[in-house]
Amino acid sequence: MPLERESYFFLSYARQDDRDDVFVSRFYEDLVAELDRLGEDCSRQKPFRDVERLALGADWERMLGREVGHCRAMVALCSPAYVHSLYCGKEWAAFQARVEDYRERTDIDVRALIPLVWAPLRGPVPEVISRYQFFEPEMGREYVEQGLMSLMRGDPTAYRRALRLIAKRVQYAAGLFRLPTVKELDLGAVRSPFPAQGVMAPTGRSTGHVRLFVAAGAADALPAGRLRHEYYGRSPLDWTPYHPPVHPTVAHRAQRVILEEEYTSSIEVVDDTLASKLDEAMRENQPSVLLVDPWAAREAPYRAPLSDYDRQNHPVTGVLMPFHPSDDESGDGGLWDDVRQVFRRNWMRRNDPYDRLFRVLVDKEHFDDRLAEMVTVAQSRLMENAVPRRLPSGPPAPPMPGLNVPAQPPPGDRDDPPGRPPSVEDPYDDD
């Protein structure tokens, strides 16, 4: 195979983790830039990322097979969604076979398969993943506890530290070793080592996946009337209503809560296709949660899709509006008058203890519990009409060991110092 046809590395990841391709794209570009800084010119062996190299109309399965069969290293962004992805498992198995083939030929165990903690792995992890070393002490404890995607959002120093070590590992594998290539690798015929993709989760749950949608402002385009920049970042996904945040963003905090409830999740920004996406999620037996910034909800581009949501029936979608007592701007009654106009139909059930899918003025102390309740209620409703998922044929998968990671800090270390924040009253509790 000509040298220019070999990708320097293949980026394997689950699209559910980053549907808008914000963080995967940035990591890919940062890794290529870091390799360039180390003196590696990847221009002749351009790294492979599917959204860049798969043209419209391409035979994507054939092209993925060719790239996995010829790349010089594979970087796997491991997460709960990754281990539930059929094609991530196929990519892993095909590349691992090339590594094992090289070891049999040379008796050299080259570390060309590079798994990374993209989002924290909880619960059972396939043995083919847990046997690999995810962590080097120099990467820092934050990397294992939060994952690279979280570090990108809230801890640039820790992210850069981990990125430099990752680039050195890729450089070592791709620069010094040449794995045997597979001329015509048929991914369709490769069996994933990850068990039971797409199977209904145990204990009566649905697919075990929650879709998160964020409607929030950004630092360079504050919502009308908003003066305080510290609650916003470069994109809506960087919104931090509980400032200063211990968890970098409210979206990340929501994912942590959902992981603790033993579900996977994905994050998207609200747009004009929201209604169709919510319908799609319901057909797939997946509940949804809208994390809404009340300031941003009042105007374009969010007002129309949120009002459209309000007019329709979405029985397995929750709405949660965070609020920090120290945010004096958000105590303005005019703000909530406007929000009530956006959610005319659902506003009547706000904070109803018997209907927990529409929550406003949720403070930091109660965010985790309110979100967990919301997911539980939505899942229960889904199960009433869930579409059954047929188990794959074949023997059951063997028991899987979990991934050992440092213990999580106790709740007191993750939140504000002890002490209950001032109570926040609903300005419309007389309605």
For residue 174, which of 122, 112, 123, 117 has the smallest C-alpha distance? 112
Residue 420 pLDDT exceeds 70: no
Answer for the pair 359, 370: CB distance below 8 angstroms, yes or no.
yes
Work out the mean pLDDT of the chain and round it to a whole number.
Answer: 80
Cα–Cα distance measured from residue 337 to residue 347, given in angstroms and rounded to the nearest whole number: 11
Banded model confidence at residue 32, pLDDT cuts 50, 70, 90? very high
Q: What are the phi and psi torsion angles at 36 (to 5°)?
A: -60, -40
Answer for the pair 203, 77: CB distance below 8 angstroms, yes or no.
no
Residue type, 65: G
- Per-residue pLDDT averaged across 41-57, rounded? 67
- Per-residue pLDDT averaged across 165-172, rounded? 94
Q: What are the phi and psi torsion angles at 213 (to 5°)?
A: -125, 130
Beta bridge partners of 362: 322
Q: 397 versus 164: which is more confidently predicted?
A: 164
> Model confidence over 205-219: pLDDT tens digits?
445 789 999 999 999
Residue 374, C-beta contacts closer than 8 angstroms, at least 6 positions apart: 289, 318, 320, 356, 357, 359
For residue 426, which of 337, 345, 300 has the smallest C-alpha distance? 337
What pLDDT score does 247 carry?
Answer: 62
Beta bridge partners of 319: 290, 358
60-69, 186-195, 413-422: range with lowest mean pLDDT: 413-422
- Per-residue pLDDT averaged across 221-239, rounded? 90
Print burial letters for 394-406: b (CB count within 10 Å at least 16), e (below 16).
eeeeeebeebeee
- Per-residue pLDDT averaged across 372-396, rounded? 66
Beta bridge partners of 288: 211, 317
> Model confidence over 339-362: pLDDT tens digits?
999 999 999 888 887 778 999 999
> Model confidence over 277-332: pLDDT tens digits?
999 998 888 999 999 999 999 999 999 999 999 999 888 999 999 988 888 888 77
Cα–Cα distance measured from residue 394 to residue 382, given in angstroms and rounded to the nearest whole number: 28
How far from chain centre, in Å, is Cα 110?
29
For residue 374, which of 427, 430, 322 has the smallest C-alpha distance? 322
User: What are the Cα distances from residue 85, in Å, to 14, 25, 157, 260, 305?
Assistant: 7, 19, 31, 20, 30
For the chain, domains (ranges, CATH) are 3-189 (3.40.50.10140), 209-384 (3.40.50)
165-174, 246-255, 353-362, 395-404: range with lowest mean pLDDT: 395-404
What pLDDT score does 411 carry?
Answer: 43
Cα–Cα distance measured from residue 375 to residue 389, given in angstroms and rounded to the nearest whole number: 20
For residue 151, which of 249, 263, 81, 219 has the smallest C-alpha distance? 249
Banded model confidence at residue 127, pLDDT cuts 50, 70, 90? confident
Percent of the chain whose pLDDT exceeds 70: 80
Residue 230 pLDDT exceeds 70: yes
Cα–Cα distance measured from residue 370 to residue 218, given in angstroms and rounded to the nearest whole number: 25
Q: 364 versus 391: which is more confidently predicted?
A: 364
| Burial (CB count <10 Å: 0-12, 13-18, 19+), residue 94 | buried
Cα–Cα distance measured from residue 199 to residue 208, given in angstroms and rounded to the nearest whole number: 9
What pLDDT score does 292 carry?
Answer: 97
pTM higher than 0.75, yes or no? no
Residue type, 17: D
315 prior amide bond cis, ω within 30: no
Give me the count of residues in the chain.
431
Both structure tokens of 353: 């203890």
What pLDDT score does 201 carry?
Answer: 38
